[in-house]
Amino acid sequence: MGAYLRGRLAPPIGHNPLGGWSVAAMLTVLAAQIILGLFSVDEDSLEAGPLSKFVSFDTGRAIAHAHHIVFWVLLGLIILHLAAIAVYALRGRNLVWPMVTGIVGVGPSLPPPVSSSWRALATAAAAAGATWIIAHGFRL
């Protein structure tokens, strides 16, 4: 990563090393946010996560506090990531369209990108299934 930041490496096709670490950090913090939300309990115990019945009220409140803190960390990472995209846009590199489509002009020396629509669909289906199972208390 240091060589890339000093300008000694050519720009990669995908995320640069810093962008890759940024995405990994956002996904990790997002996973923590989701997991904490499953177990969190509000002050009245009216709006509790679906798995809060497995922890005590005090533990659920502590988890809710951590959930609140992790939200602000996640928001900061998102803002930082959007700021980096804006900096790249100001420098003449549009990153938004390749992020949306997954297609970037790579030049004649590289093979064309491979579509991964089926992977995206399978991932979305797995996420929807896991969400349904968690939301319905593991009753199938």
Q: Mean pLDDT over residues 117-136, rounded?
A: 85
* pTM of the predicted structure, to 2 decimals: 0.68
What's the domain range around 87?
A: 2-108
Domain assignment of residue 118, yes or no: no
Percent of the chain whose predicted confidence (pLDDT) is above 70: 76
CB distance 60 to 43 below 8 Å: no
CB distance 74 to 33 below 8 Å: yes
Domain assignment of residue 17, yes or no: yes
Domain assignment of residue 124, yes or no: no
Structural domains in the chain (count): 1
**What does the pLDDT read at residue 94?**
76
Average pLDDT, the chain: 81
- Beta-carbon contacts of residue 16 (< 8 Å; ≥ 6 apart): 4
- Residues 7 and 28: their CA atoms lie apart, in Å, by 28
Domain assignment of residue 30, yes or no: yes
Domain assignment of residue 29, yes or no: yes
Domain assignment of residue 62, yes or no: yes
**What does the pLDDT read at residue 140?**
46
pLDDT tens-digit series, residues 42-87:
888 678 888 888 999 999 999 999 999 999 999 999 999 889 888 8
Domain assignment of residue 135, yes or no: no
Domain assignment of residue 136, yes or no: no
